[in-house]
Amino acid sequence: MRRSSLIAVLVLLLEPPAGAEETPTKVALIGPQAKALARALSGSPALTVVNVDPVRPSLEKPAQWALLAESLGAQAIVVGFGNARKTRGKLHLEVRDSQGELAGGRVLRGFRPAAVRRWVLARLSALAAKTKTVEQPEPQKPALVKPAWVEPPAVKPPVVKPPVVKPSPVQPPPVKPAPATQPVGEADPFEEDPGTGKPLRAPRAAAAEERRALPFALSGDVWAHHMSYLRYRDAGLINSRNEVGLRLQLDGRLASMSKYLRAHVNGTARFDVSDESRREAFFREAYVEAGWGPVAFCAGKRLLSWGATDAFNPVDVLKQSDLRDPLDIEERGLFLLQARLLLGQHLALAAVFVPLLEAGIIPSPTGMDPQGRPTSSSRWFLAPALPVPPTFVAPSALTDGPEAFQYGGRLSFSSSVVDAALSYAYSYIPFPHFAFEPPSFLRGGYHRRHVMGFDFQWTVLGQLLLKGEAAVSLTADRDGSDPAVPDSYVSYVLQLEHTFSMLGGSDNSLRLLGQFFGEHDLQGSGLPRDLIHPFHFLGNLGAEWKYRDHTAVELLVLYDAPSGVMVRLRAWHELVDGLRLEAGGVLLEGRDDDTFAGLYSHNDRLYAKLRYSF
């Protein structure tokens, strides 16, 4: 009896009350982060995703948003844009109701699925509650039809209250109220300040909305960076970095319902007191993009981001890399023409044409030693191991004209659970390959390759994120018999990560990841150990603790087989809105010169950086 009684009580407690179940809200996900939003919101019974569109129409008037919502059959639109995948990237979120009015917005640093899910569901819940209150007509009061003897004794007889029984002619009838003159959620359109977590004031929120309505936006960073190497501080080497820099980014966009025109410029200027090679100004990107429905075209200098994994991307070959500091690699775009076609909601096809060969940047020799071997002030320069000092160095010039043409294509599939892509590129290896020719000649040149790749991203069990890439690079030397041509090789990477919500909810998170990377040549002779192929087999474990969007600590431990170890620690804190202080260090240790950590074990370092973003 006790057991049955207990089961009956549990059933009563767990059974939802009558009328508790509500119809899920139909939501359309719009913008470049739409696929990531779909993964974060998958499995929620409170909403149903009716459309996922990675193209963000920059509509300005609520009527245009309302027309879009009506065409998609959505009760709400969630817009996600920004480059959240990149380091220090920002994610912009907006929620709009079926009338096109702004119901809320927020800016996050990086993409945290738990925080995104919690915020979006809260805004949709508030929107549903407010919509229900506005749309339901006010019910008639039963007291208007009750007889006098039912009234409480303290109430006067109805004979002295004729206006209560019949409404006054000047009083408007209790029909559905007129549309609100203020947009839904105007009292709290952005809910929280991303830096302090406090509610935003209406003037600041209105100013932010006004800036987004402009056809252009200017942003950027200014920073001061100091870094010191800890060992072997030779007078002929660069032993520190003392740098100030400025990065400016200009975005312009004009759009209608199905057409848009976008311009993007990203440039950097910096000056380093200790390193002359870092005194430069350059454009990282500068391109124009136009789209019409499912078709988009791009022309200019653009950085493509192919692949799914972090740090190691075997399929991402159409880019220019700066390897002068292998622990802080910079990537720059190429001058290209690109066409993209959306094939429904899940498939996309991209084609790329690169007319120029832009070589990568590596440490270069700055002198010769008494034995005639090249030397450099860079701590990352490795002189080639030669039997005798070279008497002639003749690297070939960069190819131009039709011989420099490169091209590629990518077919991608995306859904709320898995993303996958096939890619192909016919490109140059962007670094020269040197070969020794007896008796003492050192010749170098640029060589072509065919790169066939596959990458995927899969949400396992709704929590774990599995990523992977694999690529085969085929050069003209298929059998490894020509030392003047680089060998063909295969590379692959597998990554597993998970983000935990710790004490304090989604604002306090811990991200754990594990990664394995391998690379070997197809001829079996072994790839050279250099900056182009720094790792042959490695495994790493990483952890990132983040509190809100203003404090984070990252730790990475990397094992470079067979005997190398690298430990990297990084921490940053946002002092005030936009002002960030960052500090960290790298430790390299290896027993021999057969590993990256062993070759550069003298390059342990500490650094500090102060950055202001606007």
Whether omega before 57 lies within 30 degrees of 0, making that bond cis, reads: no
> Which pLDDT belongs to residue 35?
79
pLDDT, mean of residues 485-514: 85
SS3 of 438-457: the string is CCCEEEEECCEEEEEEEEEE
In sequence order, the 6+-apart residues with CB closer than 8 A to the CB of 379 are: 229, 237, 238, 239, 600, 602, 603
Q: What is the CA radius of gyration of the chain?
A: 31
pTM of the predicted protein model: 0.68
> Which pLDDT belongs to residue 541?
94
Range from 28-32, 343-347, 473-477 carrying the lowest mean pLDDT: 28-32
Judge contact between 245 and 223, C-beta under 8 A: yes
Indicate if the pLDDT at residue 206 is higher than 70: no
> Which pLDDT belongs to residue 89?
59
pLDDT, mean of residues 103-131: 78
For the stretch 127-159, what's the b/e string if a residue is b when 16 or more beta carbons lie within 10 angstroms of its beta carbon? bbeebeeeeeeeeeeeeeeeeeeeeeeeeeebe
Task: List pLDDT tens digits, range 284-309.
Answer: 999 999 999 899 999 999 999 899 99
> Which pLDDT belongs to residue 192?
42
Indicate if the pLDDT at residue 176 is higher than 70: no
How sure is the predictor about 129, in pLDDT bands with cuts at 50, 70 and 90? confident
Backbone angles phi, psi at 165, to 5 degrees: -75, -40
Task: List pLDDT tens digits, range 420-462.
Answer: 999 999 999 888 877 766 666 666 778 899 999 999 999 887 7
> Which pLDDT belongs to residue 12?
42
Using alpha carbons, select from 368, 361, 393, 363 the residue that is nearest to residue 378.
Answer: 363
Taking phi over 0 as left and psi of -120 to 50 as alpha, with beta for the rest, 110 belongs to: left
> Which pLDDT belongs to residue 188?
36
How sure is the predictor about 164, in pLDDT bands with cuts at 50, 70 and 90? very low
> Which pLDDT belongs to residue 38?
81
Dihedral over Cα of 274, 275, 278, 280: its sign? positive
Indicate if the pLDDT at residue 31 is higher than 60: yes
pLDDT, mean of residues 480-508: 82
Question: Which one is predicted more confidently, 204 or 328?
Answer: 328
User: CA 96, CA 250: separation in Å to the nearest integer?
Assistant: 26
Task: List pLDDT tens digits, range 545-598.
Answer: 988 878 999 999 999 888 899 999 999 999 998 899 999 999 999 877 778 888
Indicate if the pLDDT at residue 321 is higher than 80: yes
Question: Which one is predicted more confidently, 482 or 264?
Answer: 264
User: CA 320, CA 331: separation in Å to the nearest integer?
Assistant: 6
Task: List pLDDT tens digits, range 506-545.
Answer: 578 899 999 999 998 887 777 777 777 888 889 999 999 9
Assigned token pair, 408: 């590629």
User: CA 199, CA 189: separation in Å to the nearest integer?
Assistant: 9
> Which pLDDT belongs to residue 540?
92
User: CA 209, CA 80: separation in Å to the nearest integer?
Assistant: 15
Mean pLDDT of the chain: 78
User: CA 379, CA 383: separation in Å to the nearest integer?
Assistant: 11
> Which pLDDT belongs to residue 561?
87
